[in-house]
Amino acid sequence: MKRLIFLSLVLSIFFSSCDFKKEELYKIETAYGDMIFKLYDATPLHKANFKKLIEQGYYDDLLFHRVIDGFMIQAGDPNSRNAKAGEFLGEGGPGYTIPAEFVDSIFHKKGVLAAARQGDATNPEKRSSGSQFYVVQGKVFNDEDIKKVENRINASRLNKLVKKYIDQAKNKAFETGSIVDYETILPKARKQAKEEFNKEGLFKIPAERKKVYKTIGGTPHLDDAYTVFGEVVKGLEVLDKIAAVQTDKNNRPLNDVKFRIKKL
């Protein structure tokens, strides 16, 4: 018995002396309630940047300037602080971008935080905005919905491949001083694209993601296109309340939705 008591005492001292790393949590404060969230270690560049901006008070009294019910709520434009009613927002930032950090196990389920960015035409590397982010609301999907998303993604992949081969043919024609013959280029580009597409195979949403999208919901069409770097762990009802507010033609809430972010 004495040995058991002694062992218990030793273990108690050992565990109390260990410096266990607690999960860092943050709070988005709004008039609709608070959302508690964490940042992912798997996206270190985005985590470090977001923490830095929070510590600087960068987000204090900014607005959720773009709200689309059934999709997401977006914020992080510094121009939204003290913005006039009806003013178009969404183009501001800290003056830099962040390299994309795509992780197979992280995707657009309801409640995740993801980085906004410029479109592919001007931003082919999919670099993230330095400050703008969105919180995913999305919707719950059924099998037919998921199939439609997969079909759209595959159609987009094929179109991009066709454009790639058209551009290659055009560049070659310009280099040689030849006339660009689209009647010849287009069928050849489509054939090359189809061959590459078939070699890569059809895209299908992984089974584990499908399960989440069919229960919790989200926005699967954004996967592997925008960096997801955190998630709300408490307060999803607040997300739903903000998503339901009335908005103008630019999806800006008619009544400002201000917020602050604090470390817990």
Q: Taking 50 as the threshold, does the pLDDT of residue 17 lie above it?
A: no
What is the average pLDDT across 130-144?
98
Question: Cα(112)–Cα(232) distance, rounded to whole angstroms?
Answer: 6
Task: Report the domain count for the chain.
Answer: 2
Task: Supply φ then ψ for residue 22, to 5 degrees.
Answer: -85, 145
Predicted local distance difference test score (pLDDT) of residue 19: 47
Question: Cα(23)–Cα(26) distance, rounded to whole angstroms?
Answer: 10
Predicted local distance difference test score (pLDDT) of residue 12: 55
pTM equals: 0.85
| 157/193 same-domain check | yes
| 229/192 same-domain check | no
| 166/127 same-domain check | no
| 42/61 same-domain check | yes
Model confidence band, residue 179 (pLDDT cutoffs 50, 70, 90): confident
> What are the respective helix, strand and coil percentages of the chain, to the nearest 5?
40, 20, 40
Token pair for 92: 């501001």
| 41/90 same-domain check | yes
Question: CB-based contacts of 41: which residues, under 8 Å, 6+ apart?
Answer: 47
Task: Supply φ then ψ for residue 52, to 5 degrees.
Answer: -60, -45
3-class secondary-structure state, position 67: strand
Domain of 48 in residue numbering reads as: 26-140+216-263
Question: Cα(255)–Cα(249) distance, rounded to whole angstroms?
Answer: 14
Predicted local distance difference test score (pLDDT) of residue 256: 97
| 147/167 same-domain check | yes
- 34-60 confidence digits (pLDDT tens): 999 999 999 999 999 999 999 999 999
Q: What is the mean pLDDT of the chain?
A: 92
- Residue given tokens 């043919």 in the structure block: 169
Model confidence band, residue 21 (pLDDT cutoffs 50, 70, 90): low
Burial class (CB in 10 A: 0-12, 13-18, 19+), 79: middle
Provide the percentage of residues in the chain whose pLDDT is more than 70. Answer: 92
Burial class (CB in 10 A: 0-12, 13-18, 19+), 174: exposed
Model confidence band, residue 84 (pLDDT cutoffs 50, 70, 90): very high
